[in-house]
Structure 1
Amino acid sequence: MDSLRRGRRRIARLTAPLRSRFASGRAARARAADRRPRYDAHGLPIFEEAPGEPHRAPHPGPDGSPDAVAPASGPHSPADVGDVGAAAEPAPGASAGSSAAHPVPTADAGTTVHHSTAGVLARPIYTGFMFTVGVGLALLLFYIGQSNTQLLIWIGAALFIALGLDPIVRGLERLALPRPLSVAITMLGFVGVLAGFLAAVIPVATRQLSTFGQSVPELIDDISSSDWFRRLDETLGLQEIVDRELSRFVADPTAVTDALGGIFGVGAALLTTGVGLLVVLVLALYFLASLPTMKAWAYRLAPASRRPRLQHLGDRILDGVGQYVIGQACVAVLNGLVAFVAIRLAEVPFGALLAVVVGILAFIPLVGGVTGGMLVTLIALTVDWQTALTFAVVYFIYLQIEAYFVSPRIMSRAVRIPAAVAVISVIAGGALLGILGALMAIPLAAAVMLVIREVLILHQDRR
């Protein structure tokens, strides 16, 4: 036993320097870990009080949160320090690492150090790199969007149609039908109604358009031989101006070439419209079938604590958009039918073609019906003023009935925004994307107003 004890003591004496070296290495690593800056989940540095360092209370930032570190009164506050160098010295008992990690305001500057500024200054290379990457991604997204404007318009139209048909699908689901079957029934009904409308209107509209094209010379002769045109011709010399411009057009070969190019451009535009309609219908089918999954994934991008609130607001916005699309479609159909009846009563030529134009323009909120009525009234003036007056009286009386009785009932569950905001939104949307932009402008404006009312205003009221 004695020999064993002596052996253990000898081993302990021999390994004592090695164990001391290992212990000092662990202490050095621990001190290095204490000096290493740590960051929270938002990428901001975490400051810790060092032993013996005076306490510095958190200073409220602009939004009321502890955004900055303000010096408290103590032996090392700037008021008690005579020069800058003394103000920058660490407190007694504080290590060099904790002094570097905890910024102390100087007496010369008298400013506080914000967490966000400290985070940027602590990692300048990382911050600069991420800023450059962000700018590059923004430019890339802008280039992609600019190069695929037509595709983005098709996607927006398809999503708009899907949101408009979603209330019908949910209504069929309440009748115990599965969603795939409800989507199939809704899309077949939509395509069937669209095909039936086009099959009924296109032949009549084409025939009347051809008749209108053939009657243009006769119409020009009637206008030229009218009394009011003769008076204008005597005053301004209109006939001479028209003859000179026609002669110049016929003598210029580039003008004829441009006209033929315009004809081919119309053909290409019709082909593009057909392809776009097919793409929009296919995309609308896919969007309608996968709309619940798309909404679920979009809501999961938000934090779990805010997800119920986001889901509530998102469902309200999407339901309002769907009800608005259905309501506006009903209003447009009624406009077209009333315009057709008024055209028949007034005996305005090309009734079916003009009724289709009025119905399409009625999809534009607020101003579409008025624009269509004024267009038909101007065409009716080519017959006589009694015809134009008859149509205007019937149609514009209906517009008043629609504004006060029809639209409020149809749009009661859709969107509610002030009239001035609606007009501005329609004008801006029409200037950006035409009829589709004008149609989408009001629900988008309503969504923005809902977010402002339910999020921003409530946040301001709680402050």
Structure 2
Amino acid sequence: MTWWKEKRTYRYVFLALLGGLLVYFLYLVRKLCLPFILAVVLVYLLNPVVGRMEKRGASRVAAILILYLGVIIVVTGLFMYGVPRMVNQLEVFVENIPAYTDQVEGMVQHFQQRFDNSTVPPGVHQVVDERIRWAELKLVGVVRQAMDFLMALLGNLLNFALAPVLAFYIMKDLEMIKKWAVAQVPGEWKGDVLCLAKQVDLVFANFIRGHLTVVLLVGVLTSLAFLFIGLPFATMLGIIAGLAELIPYFGPLIGAIPALAIALLQSKWLALKVVITVTVIQQLEGNVISPRILGDSVGLHPLAIIVALLAGGHLFGIAGMLLAVPLAAIARILVSFAWAKLN
């Protein structure tokens, strides 16, 4: 019997069509995927703890509920302390925006006056003026993007609330889901697929658990350090610096810019203290925290990570930079597997 008449060929064609339809369906409902993505992140974070509690005699459902109760207590405590503080800092920041704007405008006008009085050639003068206007437009665009991001977070509150519910059912039936997925793989492919799945799972586990731990540590250290040096809005700026750690290499610079800008509006001495503080924390993070927690978590060369970050940022903005590293690591695993099979 020729290969196109074999029943196995029809099965593979059917699976390929089914996979294509599934990908197309996910593309159509991509805006609804956020709670599932958040649920997967929660599963990676909480499932190891659930497993340890199970080994000590607790049932899986009881372990999940106890862990959820503990998380709720911790999160509630953080909200009771952190949210009022953040709201207060935001209120003060909003009240000070006109004063900050006046300061920035005064600095720009002073610079332009000195520049106009200089003996710079007219052509260079025109180029500098254009660059100043370009920088102003870029700054306005960044502020608008930040406001759009905050509004998007508020608009996704339902998704954030739905994620723990989805995570509960995924963790509750995780072993059954794994067995079902393994059963769907054809026997001759099972070994290769399971090997690939384990490598991809390891990349996601290391990336999610490791990077979120680094984010938490850097955020807390930076907030405390900013409080110590007397920087306004220390908690808010520390959280921004911590979240920026999700972006390798470029994240520390992105997280330091808001703190340095606020410090410059206060005094040059405070700005210098911010630079020293950020430098010390980044040295601590780069030489102590990350090597101990992350290690070589994704198995990528630094140059490959930088290229992936630049490409992700160019194509999909901040979201692309956040997802660039794990996706690049998965691509490396798939290419290495395909190359090994072809040789």
Give distance in 2, aligned partners of 1:178 and 1:385.
58
Rate the CA distance shift 1:413–1:325 in 2: closer, same or farther, 3 A: same
Runs of 4+, deviation exceeding 6 Å? 134-137, 264-268
How big is the shift at 1:349?
0.8
Look up the equivalent residue of 2:214 and give its one-letter code.
V
Alignment counterpart, residue 5 of structure 2, candidates 21, 43, 46: 43
Look up the equivalent residue of 1:299 and give its one-letter code.
V
Alignment counterpart, residue 230 of structure 1, candidates 110, 115, 131: 110
Report whether the alignment pairs 1:164 with 2:126.
no
Q: SS of the counterpart of 1:416?
A: coil
Rate the CA distance shift 1:167–1:323 in 2: closer, same or farther, 3 A: farther
Q: SS of the counterpart of 1:194?
A: helix
Q: SS of the counterpart of 2:266?
A: coil
How big is the shift at 1:270?
5.3
Confirm or deny: 8 A CA contact 1:167 1:323 kept in the other structure: no
Confirm or deny: 8 A CA contact 1:164 1:321 kept in the other structure: no
| Counterpart in the other structure of 1:112 | none
Give distance in 1, aligned partners of 2:30 and 2:104.
43
The answer to which of 430-439 and 195-204 deviates more is: 430-439
The answer to which of 213-222 and 186-195 deviates more is: 186-195
Confirm or deny: 8 A CA contact 1:162 1:288 kept in the other structure: yes
Rate the CA distance shift 1:359–1:200 in 2: closer, same or farther, 3 A: farther
Look up the equivalent residue of 1:460 and give its one-letter code.
L
* More contact order relative to length (CA 8 Å, sep ≥ 6): 2
Q: SS of the counterpart of 2:188?
A: coil
| Counterpart in the other structure of 1:200 | 81
Superposed CA RMSD in Å reads 3.6
**How many residues are matched?**
313
Report whether the alignment pairs 1:173 with 2:54.
yes
- Structure (1 or 2) with the larger CA radius of gyration: 1
Report whether the alignment pairs 1:399 with 2:282.
yes
Q: SS of the counterpart of 2:187?
A: coil
| Counterpart in the other structure of 2:247 | 364
Q: SS of the counterpart of 2:265?
A: coil
How big is the shift at 1:393?
1.0
Confirm or deny: 8 A CA contact 2:219 2:242 kept in the other structure: yes
Report whether the alignment pairs 1:344 with 2:227.
yes
Look up the equivalent residue of 1:206 and give its one-letter code.
V
For residues 345-396 of structure 1, give each alpha carbon's deviation from its aligned partner in whole angstroms, at most 9, with x where no partner exists: 3311111121122222223333223311122112211111111111111222
Look up the equivalent residue of 1:230 and give its one-letter code.
H
Report whether the alignment pairs 1:376 with 2:259.
yes
Unmatched 5+ stretches in structure 2: 118-144
Q: SS of the counterpart of 2:299?
A: coil
Look up the equivalent residue of 1:351 and give its one-letter code.
A
Give distance in 2, aligned partners of 1:317 and 1:266.
30
How big is the shift at 1:278?
0.6
Look up the equivalent residue of 1:353 and give its one-letter code.
M
TM-score, structure 1 normalization: 0.58
Confirm or deny: 8 A CA contact 1:320 1:443 kept in the other structure: yes
Alignment counterpart, residue 35 of structure 2, candidates 148, 154, 160: 154
Give distance in 1, aligned partners of 2:283 and 2:248.
14
The answer to which of 401-410 and 359-368 deviates more is: 359-368
| Counterpart in the other structure of 2:101 | 220
Look up the equivalent residue of 1:384 and give its one-letter code.
S
Rate the CA distance shift 1:276–1:433 in 2: closer, same or farther, 3 A: farther
- The structure where helix makes up a greater share of residues is 2
Give distance in 1, aligned partners of 2:19 and 2:333.
30
| Counterpart in the other structure of 2:170 | 287
- Residue identity over aligned pairs, in percent, reads 24
TM-score, structure 2 normalization: 0.76
Report whether the alignment pairs 1:185 with 2:185.
no
The answer to which of 374-383 and 318-327 deviates more is: 318-327
Confirm or deny: 8 A CA contact 1:154 1:279 kept in the other structure: yes
Rate the CA distance shift 1:349–1:445 in 2: closer, same or farther, 3 A: same
Report whether the alignment pairs 1:302 with 2:264.
no
